[in-house]
C-alpha cells in the first residue's frame, strides 16, 4: 500500500506539479518591454534602411557612354577646356535662369541645356570644341566664383545647391525627336505665345518647334517694355543699315506695320521707302522682341513691346508659371516642344 501511494504521488508530481513550476520560470519578465524593444528595433532597422537608401542616392552617378566630358570654348580667351557635362550644366543653368525660380522650372532648364549641348556637339559648329560660352552663339556660361559674387551673400550657398539639385535630379535626361536630340531653343518671355523658327531665322524650321500659348507671363518684368526715339534718332538708326532711307513723318502711312506672324509678332513693317522684317527692326532699334506696336506722339516714335527674346521654344517665365501651378519638368517640356520624347542619352 505504501509503495502504491509513493508511486501515486510521484506520478502526480511528474505529470502536474513539475510542468507548472517550469511554466512559471519561462514566463516573460515584462511583455510590454519586449514589445517596446521590438518596436525600437523595427525603427532602427527602418532608419538604417533609409540611411542606406539616401547614401545610395548620393552615390548614384550616371555613367555617360558619350558626352560625359565635353570641350568648352571660352570665347574671350580662346581657351578650350575639357569639362564634365553635368558640372558644366550647373554653370549654364545658373547663368541662364534665375535661381529663385521654381525647382521644376530649373529642372526643365537643365534638361533643355543638356539637350542643347549635345545637339551643338553633334553639329560640330566649332572645329576644336563642342560648344562655346557665348550666348549669342551657343548658351551662356558663368564661373561659380562670378555667379556667387552676384548673388546676395545669405543666398549663395542655398542657390548653388538648388542649381546642383536640378541638374543632378535630371542626370542623363535629354529631349529627342525621332530618336535624335532636338535643337532646344529657349527664351526669357514669350509675351503669351511662342514663335516659329522660320519667322526668326528663315529656313524650313523644326516640326517640334510650333506656336503654343503660354498663360501667366504678364506678372514678370520681362513681359512689357517701351522705348522711344525722336525722329532724328529713328533716322540715324535706320541709316546705319539703309543709307537711302526717306520717311515723311507727316504721312501716317510712312511708318506702318504691314503684316503679323501667326504668333502676333511683326512680320513686315514699312519705314518710308523700305520694308523691314520685324526681326530686323528689333535688331536695329534694340527692342526686347519682335512683338511690338508703333505709335507716333508729336515728334516721338514709341515702340511698345511685349515679351523678351526670339520667342522660339521654351519660355522661361512661362515654365516658371507652369511650375507654380503644379506642373513638373516633364510636363513643362512637353508643353513647349511638340511631339518629342524624353529619353536617357545612353539609349540613343
Does the pLDDT value for residue 19 go beyond 60?
A: no
Residues 204 and 107 in one domain: yes
Domain-embedded: residue 31:
no
Q: What is the dihedral of CA 209, 212, 217, 221, to 10 degrees?
A: 40
Domain-embedded: residue 12:
no
Residues 258 and 196 in one domain: no
Residues 211 and 238 in one domain: no
Structural domain including 301 reads: 224-306
Does the pLDDT value for residue 31 go beyond 90?
A: no
Confidence of residue 37 (pLDDT cuts 50, 70, 90): very low
Q: 149-204: per-residue pLDDT in tens?
A: 999 999 999 999 999 999 999 999 999 999 999 999 999 999 999 999 999 999 88
Are residues 211 and 337 in contact, defined by beta-carbon separation less than 8 angstroms?
no
Mean per-residue pLDDT over the chain, rounded: 87
Of 109 and 125, which is predicted with more confidence? 109
Number of domains in the chain: 2
Residues 77 and 96 in one domain: yes
Q: Residue 38: which residues within 8 A CB-CB, separation 6 or more?
A: none
Are residues 266 and 199 in contact, defined by beta-carbon separation less than 8 angstroms?
no
Q: Quick one: pLDDT at residue 180?
A: 96
Residues 208 and 237 in one domain: no
Domain-embedded: residue 110:
yes
Q: How far, in Å, are 88, 93, 102, 140 from residue 148 at the CA level?
A: 15, 13, 19, 16
* Site of grid cell 516573460: 28
Q: 62-87: per-residue pLDDT in tens?
A: 899 999 999 999 999 999 999 999 99
Residues 122 and 237 in one domain: no
Residues 153 and 175 in one domain: yes
Confidence of residue 9 (pLDDT cuts 50, 70, 90): low
Residues 74 and 130 in one domain: yes
Q: Quick one: pLDDT at residue 60?
A: 54
**How would you label 229-254 residue by residue, b for 16+ Cβ within 10 Å and e otherwise?**
beeeebbeebeeeeeebebeeeeeee
**DSSP letters along 165-177, please?**
HHHHTTTTEEEEE
Domain-embedded: residue 233:
yes
Q: Quick one: pLDDT at residue 230?
A: 97
For the record, the C-alpha cell of 308 comes out as 523678351
Residues 278 and 343 in one domain: no
Residues 232 and 331 in one domain: no
Does the pLDDT value for residue 47 go beyond 90?
A: no
Domain-embedded: residue 50:
no
Q: What is the 3-state secondary structure (H, E, C) of 266-331?
A: EEEEEECCEEEEHHHHHHHHCCCCCCEEEEEECCEEEEEEECECCCCCEEHHHHHHHHHCCCCHHH
Residues 245 and 286 in one domain: yes
Q: Quick one: pLDDT at residue 280?
A: 98
Q: 246-280: per-residue pLDDT in tens?
A: 999 999 899 999 999 999 999 999 999 999 999 99
Cα angle 260, 262, 263 (rounded to 5 degrees) comes to: 90
**Segment among 40-44, 135-139, 189-193 with least mean pLDDT:** 40-44
Domain-embedded: residue 23:
no
Domain-embedded: residue 47:
no
Residues 85 and 139 in one domain: yes
Q: Averaged over 104-109, what is the pLDDT? A: 98
Q: 287-311: per-residue pLDDT in tens?
A: 999 999 999 988 999 999 999 999 9
Domain-embedded: residue 30:
no
**Segment among 44-53, 175-184, 313-322 with least mean pLDDT:** 44-53
- Residues of the chain with pLDDT > 70: what percent? 83
Amino acid at each position: 500500500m505504501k509503495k502504491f501511494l509513493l508511486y501515486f504521488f510521484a506520478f502526480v508530481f511528474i505529470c502536474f506539479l513539475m510542468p507548472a513550476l517550469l511554466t512559471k520560470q519561462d514566463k516573460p519578465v515584462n511583455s510590454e518591454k519586449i514589445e517596446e524593444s521590438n518596436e525600437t528595433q523595427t525603427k532602427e532597422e527602418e532608419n538604417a534602411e533609409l540611411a542606406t537608401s539616401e547614401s545610395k542616392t548620393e552615390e548614384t552617378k550616371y555613367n555617360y557612354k558619350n558626352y560625359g566630358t565635353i570641350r568648352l570654348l571660352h570665347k574671350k580667351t580662346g581657351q578650350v577646356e575639357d569639362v564634365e557635362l553635368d558640372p558644366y550644366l550647373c554653370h549654364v543653368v545658373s547663368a541662364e535662369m534665375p535661381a529663385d525660380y521654381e525647382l521644376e522650372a530649373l529642372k526643365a532648364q537643365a534638361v533643355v541645356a543638356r539637350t542643347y549641348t549635345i545637339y551643338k556637339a553633334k553639329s560640330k559648329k566649332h572645329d576644336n570644341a563642342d560648344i562655346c560660352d557665348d550666348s549669342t552663339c551657343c548658351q551662356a556660361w558663368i564661373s561659380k566664383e562670378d555667379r556667387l559674387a552676384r548673388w546676395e551673400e545669405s543666398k549663395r550657398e542655398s542657390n548653388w545647391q538648388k542649381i546642383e539639385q536640378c541638374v543632378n535630379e535630371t542626370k542623363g535626361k535629354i529631349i529627342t525627336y525621332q530618336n535624335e536630340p532636338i535643337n532646344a531653343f529657349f527664351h526669357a518671355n514669350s509675351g503669351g505665345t511662342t514663335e516659329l523658327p522660320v519667322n526668326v531665322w528663315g529656313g524650313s524650321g523644326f516640326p517640334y518647334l510650333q506656336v503654343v500659348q503660354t498663360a501667366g507671363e504678364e506678372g514678370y518684368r520681362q513681359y512689357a517694355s517701351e522705348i522711344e526715339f525722336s525722329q532724328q534718332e529713328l533716322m540715324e538708326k535706320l541709316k546705319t543699315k539703309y543709307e537711302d532711307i526717306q520717311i515723311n513723318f507727316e504721312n501716317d502711312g510712312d511708318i506702318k506695320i504691314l503684316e503679323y506672324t501667326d504668333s502676333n509678332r511683326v512680320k513686315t513693317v514699312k519705314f518710308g521707302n523700305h520694308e523691314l522684317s520685324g526681326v530686323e527692326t528689333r535688331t536695329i532699334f534694340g527692342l526686347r522682341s519682335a512683338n511690338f506696336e508703333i505709335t507716333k506722339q508729336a515728334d516721338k516714335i514709341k515702340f511698345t513691346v511685349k515679351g523678351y527674346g526670339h520667342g522660339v521654344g521654351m519660355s522661361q517665365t512661362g515654365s516658371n508659371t507652369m511650375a507654380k501651378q503644379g506642373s513638373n519638368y516633364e510636363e513643362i517640356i512637353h508643353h513647349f516642344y511638340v511631339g518629342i520624347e524624353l529619353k536617357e542619352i545612353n539609349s540613343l
